[in-house]
């Protein structure tokens, strides 16, 4: 059965759009048909992260105004044929929630996964994006301000009748967790009171997706974490990669020392 999942956060800049692209590409590589709907008003940048900004011909607003068909506003990813983007540059001002809902319903009949990339904050754009999804994934980093905002968002999400709410802990540094400079996953899970869907490391390839356009290596920590995230999303499980393992013991202490000197 097709699924609509909003990717949200509260705080901006925590990695929603980057992870939407990575997760979308991983599912697409598994043969799933995936569409990313960009509802991040004004700051919409999925096209940039996917490196397809020159390919986008129409956006959701133009579909609504009858300037094109929905299929014409779907931009295919360069890396994965099964992944598409629905850009929404004019979304905030003139797209009523009913039209967004109708669009998502149509997309659900054609795609296995519809991921809705949500704007930061808890304003009207957030509510519009959440109201058209059946499930939610909240992205946070291990920083106190991001966790606080994630917690606020989770409480609001609980007032919607969503089938599932999970969270992704992004930009984790195993060496900092071992040296107690970064919070542990289980403490963040206790604070947020929702199931973790993934722990994603701080990763240069994720950081440079838009600038270098180099695919995430599947055997890197980042690539493995994205694969596990997709397994969890698909199966409703909560298996997490242990990013601290290589920084424990004598060899681990050496690695931490070297990493801190770089
Ligand atoms: N796991 C990660 N490792 C390193 N950099 C990351 C990671 N996730 C996101 N980033 C970087 O963080 C910045 C914000 O990410 P973005 O996906 O635009 O966040 P949001 O959509 O939540 O505003 C971007 O520069 C992105 O490359
Ligand atoms: Mg974004």
Q: How far is the CA of 13 from the centre of ligand 2 (A)?
A: 7
Return the CATH number at 59.
Answer: 3.40.50.300
In terms of residue numbers, what domain contains 57?
A: 3-261
| Ligand 1 pocket: which of 138, 174, 207, 222 to mutate (most atoms within 8 A of CB) | 207
What pLDDT score does 210 carry? 78
Atom 12 (ligand 1): residue with closest C-alpha?
15
Distance between CA 7 and CA 19 in Å, rounded? 9
Share the mean pLDDT of the chain: 92
Ligand nearest the Cα atom of residue 41: 2
Mean pLDDT value across residues 122-145: 95
**Where does 95-213 show beta strands of DSSP type E?**
113-117, 135-140, 164-172, 195-201
What pLDDT score does 90 carry? 56
Atom 27 (ligand 1): residue with closest C-alpha?
207
Closest CA relative to residue 38, chosen from 129, 123, 145: 129
The answer to whether residue 213 scores a pLDDT higher than 90 is no
What pLDDT score does 44 carry? 67
Counted domains in the chain: 1
217/189: higher pLDDT: 189
Atom 14 (ligand 1): residue with closest C-alpha?
13
Measured from CB, residues less than 6 Å from any atom of ligand 1 are: 9, 12-18, 170-171, 200, 202-203, 206-207
What pLDDT score does 27 carry? 97
Q: In angstroms, how far apart are the furthest CA atoms of the chain?
A: 64
What pLDDT score does 262 carry? 63
Q: How far is the CA of 257 from the centre of ligand 1 (A)?
A: 26
Whole-Å CA distances, 127 to 21, 102, 229: 22, 16, 25
Contact 231, 237 (CB under 8 A): yes
Q: How far is the CA of 107 from the centre of ligand 2 (A)?
A: 21
Mean pLDDT value across residues 182-197: 95
Supply the pTM of this predicted model.
Answer: 0.94
Q: How far is the CA of 15 from the centre of ligand 2 (A)?
A: 7
Q: How confident is the model at residue 91 (pLDDT cuts 50, 70, 90)?
A: low
* CA-based torsion, 175, 178, 184, 185: positive or negative: positive
Q: How confident is the model at residue 256 (pLDDT cuts 50, 70, 90)?
A: confident
pLDDT digits (tens, 9 = 90+) for 138-152: 999 999 999 999 999
Please give the number of the atom of ligand 1 that sits closest to the Cα of 207: 27
Ligand nearest the Cα atom of residue 169: 1
What pLDDT score does 41 carry? 66
Of the listed ranges 114-118, 130-134, 246-250, the one predicted with least confidence = 246-250
Please give the number of the atom of ligand 1 that sits closest to the Cα of 19: 17
Indicate the helix (H) or strand (E) that contains 45.
Answer: none
Please give the number of the atom of ligand 1 that sits closest to the Cα of 139: 22
pLDDT digits (tens, 9 = 90+) for 218-237: 888 999 999 999 999 999 99
pLDDT digits (tens, 9 = 90+) for 39-65: 976 666 899 999 998 999 999 989 999
Q: How confident is the model at residue 38 (pLDDT cuts 50, 70, 90)?
A: very high
The answer to whether residue 93 scores a pLDDT higher than 70 is no
Q: How confident is the model at residue 249 (pLDDT cuts 50, 70, 90)?
A: confident
């Amino acid at each position: 059965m097709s699924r609509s999942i909003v990717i949200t956060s509260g705080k901006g800049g925590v990695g929603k759009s980057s992870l939407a692209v990575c997760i979308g590409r991983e599912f697409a590589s598994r043969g799933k048909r995936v569409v990313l709907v960009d509802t991040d008003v004004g700051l919409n940048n999925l096209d940039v992260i996917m490196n397809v900004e020159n390919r986008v011909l129409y956006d959701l607003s133009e579909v609504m105004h009858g300037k094109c068909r929905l299929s014409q506003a779907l931009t295919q990813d360069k890396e994965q044929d099964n992944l598409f983007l629905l850009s929404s540059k004019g979304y905030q001002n003139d797209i009523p929630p009913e039209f967004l809902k109708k669009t998502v319903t149509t997309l659900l009949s054609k795609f296995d996964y519809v991921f809705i990339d949500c704007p930061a904050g808890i304003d009207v754009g957030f509510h519009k994006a959440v109201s058209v999804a059946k499930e939610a994934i909240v992205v946070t980093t291990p920083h106190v301000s991001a966790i606080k905002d994630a917690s606020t968002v989770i409480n609001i999400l609980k007032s919607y009748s969503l089938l599932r709410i999970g969270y992704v802990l992004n930009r984790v540094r195993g060496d900092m967790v071992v040296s107690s400079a970064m919070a542990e996953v289980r403490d963040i899970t206790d604070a947020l009171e929702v199931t973790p869907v993934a722990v994603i490391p701080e990763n240069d390839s994720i950081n440079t997706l838009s600038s270098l356009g180099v695919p995430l290596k599947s055997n890197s920590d980042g690539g493995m974490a994205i694969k596990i995230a997709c397994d969890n999303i698909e199966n409703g499980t909560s298996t997490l990669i242990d990013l601290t393992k290589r920084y424990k013991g004598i060899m681990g202490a050496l690695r931490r020392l070297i990493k801190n000197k770089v």
